[in-house]
Amino acid sequence: MLKRKNFLYKPTKRRRKGNYKTFSKKKKFISETQESKPHQISENEDTEEGFNLKTSAPSHSHGVQPLGNLFFSPSFNNSRNTGLGNLQTLSDELVLEILGFLDGTHLGILSTVSKSLYVFCNHEPLWRNLVLEKSIDGFLYNGSWKNTYINAYKPSSDVLSVESMGLKVRDFYSDYLFQSWLCANLEMKPEWLERDNIPRRKGLSVDEFVENFEEPNKPVLLEGCLDNWDAFEKWDRDYLVEACGDVKFAVGPVEMKLEDYFRYSDQAREERPLYLFDPKFAEKVPALGSEYQVPEYFSEDLFGVLGNERPDYRWIIIGPAGSGSSFHIDPNSTSAWNAVIKGSKKWVLFPPDVVPPGVHPSPDGAEVACPVSIIEWFMNFYNATKTWKKKPIECVCKAGEVIFVPNGWWHLVINLEDSIAITQNFVSRRNLLNVLDFLKRPNANTLVSGTRDRVNLYDKFKNVIEATFPGTIDGLVLKTEEKKAQQKKPSFWELVTDSRAGAFKFSF
């Protein structure tokens, strides 16, 4: 099965920040008199905190309110607890984890037991998991994951059709479920898009790029690189659907026709929309591979010496607004470029020595815990960066622009509109030694990605490089050592200050 791009830090563990003070104000979120309005933020309303809901149809909240609102409720009754009985002591995450073991029929039946179980059993991610588990060959999205499941698998229970009407429950308070709903329905705040501190260059020479950006390992946004791409002129949804026909592409854990993917992405309102991210697109539809060219800055790609045995290196990326990639470092210590063909993407990048707030890599570097969704990271952690000395590099990369992502940099990307992009990861002489060091790590079998032969990749790559470009590795090692020695050598001024300090010492 094809997998989405494997990153150095695989975002496998997810967590939600517990307490959301900003949502505890009664006047914004509760309304006892308006049962049909679960939170007193209405569509497109600007709240005091400046949050805007998406204008298109929001997903179903089933009346869930943030926990803080309970303290303003006259009855002080949380139907979340009364309807769970003895299970009420379990956290929301644990309840959902347990419900995740049920099939569609049993989820449907359980949802009729109490108001609380109705809300939990209709939590869309449960139905999404059921659909994705069963639909390796794709699915036909139908307004919600639950409807999609019912239409595709027609589980044997009448209760399922009743529940798909989407009832609203009174007095149900849960931060976890509320935040899940909110993150699926929030627009990006304008202030999250304001900072634009990346260097932008047009018409840069390759030498200037290497000297000013690749060698010092710094990001840059390059304009005008796509001007001659057929893809830039031709690729839009209609063209791609026509060109790709029944070919299926990797979308999360399943494979889908483009037409079916767009049907999903047009309707989906969820925290983490499925992203089309396919490393074999050019083999599947050769025309796609020939309609773009690697920009001249990135033409050296030493992994090319491995031919078919090279790790995955190029992807077509398609996703709706709100889809994207949460914080990660790119695979195998490679650098990357990412070209936006349609739409636009917000980027936030941190240098290798700064772990982004809210992100917790495991000590061996194989996994990372981060917020459930990208919007959640912006809501809960983005502000923290304002007071940090080392500010992230940020930008909005628009259609026609290419961003250079240097190796080892943490980055997060969110699509601001429906987007189509191409990205490639590469090894040049500037990062060859980093890549070799990475492939040689003792836990290479868990860290190396995009290829089956993880353990032997180091030897294979090193041997072919030595045979193809004799002396290159030794030359680079020598250069690096000289650089280090140069950095260690005290400068003239340091020598002068030292000798003066010494002089003082002696004169005492």
Ligand X SMILES: O=C(O)CCC(=O)C(=O)O
Return the residues of window 2-31 that contact ligand X according to CB under 6 A: 5
Please identify which residue in 95, 421, 436, 439 interacts with ligand X, judged by CB under 6 A: 421
Binding to ligand X by residue 272, rule CB under 6 A?
A: no
CB-side neighbour CA atoms (13 Å) of 100: 13
Q: Is 345 in the site for ligand X (CB under 6 A)?
A: yes
Task: Give the residue with the Cβ less far from ligand X, 120 or 426.
Answer: 426
Residue 189: what residue type? K
Print the SS3 string covering 28-55.
Answer: HHCCCCCCCCCCCCCCCCCCCCCCCECC
Size of interface with ligand X, in residues (CB under 6 A):
12
**CB-nearer residue toward ligand X: 83 or 450:** 450
Q: According to the binding rule CB under 6 A, does residue 430 interact with ligand X?
A: no
Q: Residue 119 or residue 341: which is nearer to ligand X going by CB? A: 341
Q: CB–CB of 339/292 below 8 Å?
A: yes
Please report, to the nearest 10 degrees, the dihedral formed by the alpha carbons of residues 72, 73, 74, 75 taken in order: -140
CB of 397 to ligand X, least distance (A): 9
Among 302, 317, 439, 447, binds ligand X (CB under 6 A): 317
Minimum Å distance from CB 370 to ligand X? 13
If the CB atoms of residues 342 and 345 are measured against ligand X, the closer one turns out to be 345
Q: Cα dihedral angle (405, 408, 411, 417), rounded to 10 degrees? A: 30
Yes or no: say if 79 and 115 are a contact pair by the CB < 8 Å rule.
Answer: yes
Where would I find the H helices in 251-366? 258-267, 281-284, 286-290
Nearer residue to ligand X within complex by CB, 411 or 454 = 411
Q: Is 374 in the site for ligand X (CB under 6 A)?
A: no
451: CB partners within 8 A, 6+ apart: 309, 310, 311, 312, 457
Identify the residue among 171, 271, 330, 401 touching ligand X (CB under 6 A).
Answer: 330
Examine residue 368 and tell whether it contacts ligand X (CB under 6 A).
no
Convert 455-505 into a string of H (helix), E (strand) and C (coil): CCHHHHHHHHHHHHCCCHHHHHHHHHHHHHHHHHCCCHHHHHHHHHHHHHH
Token digits for 306?
Answer: 């491995």
Q: Tell me how far, at minimum, the Cβ of 404 lies from ligand X, in Å.
A: 12
Question: Which of residues 79, 325, 428, 434 is near ligand X by CB under 6 A?
Answer: 325
Q: Applying CB under 6 A, which part among 56-64, 146-154, 223-231, 330-338 lies near ligand X?
A: 330-338
Task: For tokens 């309303």, name the residue.
Answer: 45
What whole-number distance in Å separates Cα of residue 4 and Cα of residue 12?
13
The size of the chain, in residues, is 508
Distance in Å, CB of 232 to ligand X, minimum: 16
Q: Is 63 or 322 the residue whose CB approaches ligand X more closely?
A: 322
Question: Which residue's CB is nearer to ligand X, number 92 or number 330?
Answer: 330
CB nearer ligand X, residue 12 or residue 88: 12
By three-state DSSP, how is residue 301 classified? coil
CB of 325 to ligand X, least distance (A): 4
Min CB(75)–ligand X separation in Å: 45
Angle, alpha carbons 414-420-424 (nearest 5°) = 85
The residue among 179 and 423 lying less far from ligand X, judged by its C-beta, is 423
Measured from the CB of residue 94, what is the shortest distance to ligand X in angstroms? Answer: 31
Encoded one letter per residue, x for contact with ligand X by CB under 6 A and - for no contact, window 27-66 reads ----------------------------------------
Beta strands in 153-281 (DSSP E): 172-173, 200-202, 220-223, 248-251, 254-257, 276-278
- In the bound state with ligand X, the residue whose beta carbon lies nearer, of 164 and 325, is 325
Q: Is 19 exposed, middle or buried (0-12, 13-18, 19+ CB in 10 A)?
A: exposed
Binding mask 377-406 for ligand X (x = CB under 6 A): ------------------------------
Residue 334, both tokens: 């490679």
Phi, psi of 25 (to 5 degrees): -90, 120
Among the residue ranges 99-107, 124-132, 317-325, 479-487, the one whose residues contact ligand X (CB under 6 A): 317-325
Q: Which stretch binds ligand X (CB under 6 A): 59-67, 70-78, 207-215, 323-331?
A: 323-331
Q: How far is the CB of 412 from ligand X (least distance, A)?
A: 8
Is residue 324 within the footprint of ligand X (CB under 6 A)? yes
Pull the structure tokens for residue 339.
Answer: 């070209």
Of 395, 413, 420, 432, the one binding ligand X by CB under 6 A: 413
| Among the listed residues 24, 142, 179, 338, the single contact to ligand X using CB under 6 A | 338
**Strand locations in 183-291, DSSP E?**
200-202, 220-223, 248-251, 254-257, 276-278
Taking the C-alpha atoms of residue 327 and residue 76, their distance in angstroms, rounded to an integer, is 39
Site membership for ligand X, residue 336 (CB under 6 A): yes
- Residue 411 touches ligand X, criterion: CB under 6 A: yes
The least distance separating ligand X from the CB of residue 13, rounded to whole angstroms, comes to 19
Q: Which residues bind ligand X (CB under 6 A)?
A: 5, 317, 324-325, 330, 336, 338, 345, 411, 413, 421, 423
